[in-house]
Amino acid sequence: MSATASSPPPPGSVQFDEASSTVMLRTAASCYVLRVDRTEGAVRHVHWGAPVPAADAAELPVWTGHDDSFEGRRDGVEEYPVDGGARFGVPALEVRFADGSSPVEPRVEDIRINGGNHLVIALRDRSRPLAWELHYRVPSGGDVLERWTELTHTAGPDAEPLHLTRCSSAHWPLPQRPGWRLSSVHGGWSAENRLERTALTVGETTLTSRRGHTGHHANPWVVLDAGHADEEQGETWATALATSGSWRLTVQRTAARRAGVVASEGHEGVEIPLAPGQRYVTPISVAVYGTGGFGDVSRAFHAYVRRHVLPHPDELRPVLYNSWEATSFEVGEDNQRALARRAASLGVELFVVDDGWFGARDDDRAGLGDWIPHRRRFARGLRPLSDEVHRLGMSFGIWVEPEMVNADSDLFRAHPDWVLHLPDRTATELRHQLVLDFSRPEVTEWAYGWLHALVGDNGVDFLKWDFNRSFTEAGGHGGRPARQVHVEHARGVHRLLDRLRAAFPALRIEGCAGGGGRIDLGILGRTDQVWTSDNTDAVDRLTIQHGFSQVYPAGVMSAWVTDSPNPLTGRSVPLAFRFHSAMAGVLGIGGDLTRWTGPEIEEAARLVQRYKDIRPLVQHGRLDRLLAPGEGLLAAVQYTDAEARRTAVLVWRSSTSFGPAHPPLRLRGLDPAARYRDEDTGAEWSGATLAGYGLPVPALPDGDCASALVVLHRTGRPESEGSRSMSPW
C-alpha cells in the first residue's frame, strides 16, 4: 500500500497491497479491508471499523470457521457469497443456467482501481458463461461507502439465456461482537417510520417489501450496534439500498457471533433473464460506520444525500400550499384562484393543485389515465390558473398519478392489456384503481408524452407524483414474471423521471406514494423532496419525522400545516404547534384557508416568515435529535449551520403531566469558546455552557400541545477568563 506503515491511507481513497492481495478503502473516519484469494476464487472480508495502519491491514488474519463437514468456512466472511460449494449462509448471487443447474463456482479475473476511489474486482464462473464485477466506491467528502454489482452473460449470440434469481447489490460483513442490536422502522399507511431497536437473534432476520414499491411498512435500511450505542456515542454500522421497487435486506447473525447484511432487489428474489452479451447492474447499496452513536450515522447519511444523491442539493425548497384538504374532488378554477390569493398573502411560494383536475374525475372511481383538464371545472384549461398563480408571485404545481388507471377511463378501455393482471384472473382493484405496467417501454412512452405536454403547455413548475396502491397480479400480459415486474417497474419510473427532468431542467418534483410508501435513495436521486405521510396530525408527525430522520435529511421531508381538528385523527392542536411540527422539514400548508380566521391568517403569515428565516438551518444544517418523541415529556431537535454561527431549537410538549421541571436541553455542535445570544430574549450563554449545562427549557404555553422555537446566534465574543470573577468560598 502506498501509505506509510504507521498510518492509514488518506480518506476518500482505495489502496491495494499486491504482496498480500489486501485492499483498504478509507473514508474520513473509517476503513474497510478485504483480501483477494486468486487460488480459491474468494474475496474475503477482513475489517470494517476504525482506521488501522496500512501495514497492519496487510497482516490482519481472515476469520475462518470450524474446519468440519457441517460448517461453511467462508460463511459470514465472503464479500459476495454465491450459491455453490460449501457455503451455507445467505447467498448474494443465485443463478439458473440454461441446463437448469444453479451452483456457481467463482474465479478471480482482475483487480483494478479507477480514479483512486473506485475498486473493481472482476470474477467469472470457472466453466459457465457468467461474469460479475464487484464495485466499491468511496464518495468524496464523507464517511460513506458505495457498493454495487454488474453481471454479464458471456456466451456467444446463439446461446440460451440464463436467469438471475438473486443478484444482490452487496453483502456487508460485520465484525464479531458478543451481541448485536438491530434498528429499523416499521408501520403502515399514515403510521410510517416507527423506529424500533431490538436484539438481533441468531439466524436470519429479513426486512422486505412485497408490494412493488418501497413500502410504508418498512424501509430499506438497517443500523446495527453491539447493544450499547445511544444518540451521541457508540459504534454503529448502517446500510441502505437505493431501490424503489420490491426489496429485501437479510440480516444474518451466526452462532460464531458474526453478523452481516445482504442487500437485494426483489422480495423473495428476482427473475431476470440475461441474454448473451447482456449486462445487469444492481442498485447501489450505501453503508456507514461511525463511533458517535446513531446521530453520527444519520448525519453521515444526510451529508451523502445532499452531496451525491439529490439533483439540486444547494436549493432551498419553497413553502408550498396544497389544495387537497380544502377542495378535495371539487377542485375548479374559481376556488383555486381564491385559495391562491390567500396562500400568496401568507408568503407561500409554490401553489399546488391536487387530485380532481382531469378527465371525468368527480371521485376516485373514474378518470385516472385521462390526463386532460376536466371539461366542466377547467373549461379554459389549466393555463389561465397557472398564469394567475405566477402573477401572484408563486410557482405553479400540479398533482399526477402516472402509474395508475381507473377501469372507468378512456385509457383502460383502449389499452386493458397495459395493466398488471393475469388474463384468466379477476383484476384486483384497490382504491378503485389498477396499476399500469411501467416495466413496458410502450407504457412509459405514453406517460412521457402526456407529461411533456402537461408541463410544457401549462407552465408547470412542480409535479406532485403520487402512487396510491400496491401491486397485485404482476406479470401476465407483459410476458414477464411477477418477480421481474416487481423490480423493473420501478426502474421504468426512474428512467421516465430522468427523461422528464432532462427535458425540463427547471421542473421540480415531489415523490409521494399514499404518503411515505416510496421513500428511498433511488427515488431521491430523481426528486427534490418526498411526501412523508398522509397523516398530517402534528403530534403523530413528530414520531414519523423522528424515524424518517435516521437516514433522510430534513431538507427532503415535506410536512404540512392542516386544519384543526385534524381531518384524519380528529385531534385539536394549536396553530403554533402545527407550524412548529411542520417547520422541522420542508414547510407546507394544506388547510382550508377560506375557513381560517383573520387572527389565524396573521399568525400563520408570521410563522411562515419565521420559517423562511431559519430555513437554511433546517434544510441544509446539521441535525441533532435532542429528545425523542414518546420517551419523555418533551421532544426536541436542533439545527445548526456548518460554521456553528446560528442554531435553531424546536421544542414540543404533546401533553401535560405533574412533575418536576424538565432539565435544560444540552445542545450539540456549537463552538465551546464562543457566546450565543437568544434572538428573542437577548439571554446569552457560552457554547460550553449550552453543551455542558444546557439551554434552559423555554417557557411553553399552558395545556397540551405546547411548543417553542429558540434561535441562537454567535455574537463573535469569545469567553474571556478575566471578564467576570467569582469570589472564593
Q: How confident is the model at residue 71 (pLDDT cuts 50, 70, 90)?
A: confident
- pLDDT, mean of residues 186-194: 98
Same domain, 257 and 127: yes
- pLDDT, mean of residues 299-307: 98
- pLDDT, mean of residues 632-636: 95
Q: What pLDDT score does 25 carry? A: 97
**How far apart are alpha carbons 82 and 73 in whole angstroms?**
13
**How far apart are alpha carbons 493 and 503 in whole angstroms?**
15
* Average pLDDT score, the chain: 94
Q: Is 671 a catalytic residue?
A: no
Same domain, 568 and 678: no
pTM here is 0.96
Same domain, 583 and 643: no
Residue in 225, 296, 528, 534 annotated catalytic: 534
Which pairing describes strands 557-561 and 586-589: parallel, antiparallel, or unpaired?
A: parallel
**How far apart are alpha carbons 25 and 461 in whole angstroms?**
42
Element of type H or E holding 110 = strand 106-114
Q: Domain for residue 5, yes or no? A: no
Least confident of 4-8, 464-468, 545-549, 641-645: 4-8
Q: Domain for residue 113, yes or no? A: yes
DSSP 3: S
Torsion angles phi and psi, residue 492, rounded to 5: -65, -40
Same domain, 194 and 251: yes
More confident residue, 370 or 268: 370
Same domain, 608 and 633: no
Nearest to 666 by CA among 629, 637, 694, 644: 694
Q: How confident is the model at residue 5 (pLDDT cuts 50, 70, 90)?
A: very low
Same domain, 655 and 536: no
- pLDDT, mean of residues 450-464: 98
Distance (Å) of CA 729 to CA 719, 723, 726:
23, 19, 9
CATH number at residue 305: 2.70.98.60
Q: What pLDDT, in 10s, does the model give residues 352-400?
A: 999 999 999 999 999 999 999 999 999 999 999 999 999 999 999 999 9
Q: Is the per-residue pLDDT at 722 higher than 50? A: no
Same domain, 139 and 232: yes
Q: Is the per-residue pLDDT at 552 higher than 80? A: yes
Q: What pLDDT, in 10s, does the model give residues 239-262?
A: 999 999 999 999 999 888 889 999
Same domain, 529 and 555: yes
Q: First CA to last CA across the chain, in angstroms? A: 60
Q: Is the per-residue pLDDT at 84 higher than 90? A: no
Q: What pLDDT score does 584 carry? A: 98
Same domain, 102 and 211: yes
**How far apart are alpha carbons 475 and 493 in whole angstroms?**
17
Q: What pLDDT, in 10s, does the model give residues 653-663?
A: 999 887 778 99
Q: What pLDDT score does 424 carry? A: 84
Q: How confident is the model at residue 7 (pLDDT cuts 50, 70, 90)?
A: low
The sign of the CA dihedral 469, 472, 475, 478 is negative
Q: What pLDDT score does 74 carry? A: 77
Instruction: Name the residue range of residue 709's domain.
Output: 627-714
Q: How confident is the model at residue 476 (pLDDT cuts 50, 70, 90)?
A: low
Q: Which three cell numbers stand for residue 1?
A: 500500500
Q: Is 466 a catalytic residue?
A: yes
Residue in 17, 75, 461, 466 annotated catalytic: 466
Q: How confident is the model at residue 66 (pLDDT cuts 50, 70, 90)?
A: low
Q: How confident is the model at residue 425 (pLDDT cuts 50, 70, 90)?
A: confident
Give the count of domains, the chain.
Answer: 3
Same domain, 561 and 645: no
DSSP 320-369: EEE-HHHHGGG--HHHHHHHHHHHHHHT--EEEE-SSSBTT-SSTTB-TT
User: Of the residues 274, 309, 344, which one is the last residue of a structural domain?
Assistant: 309
Least confident of 329-333, 423-427, 668-672: 423-427
Strand partners for 291: none
Same domain, 46 and 89: yes
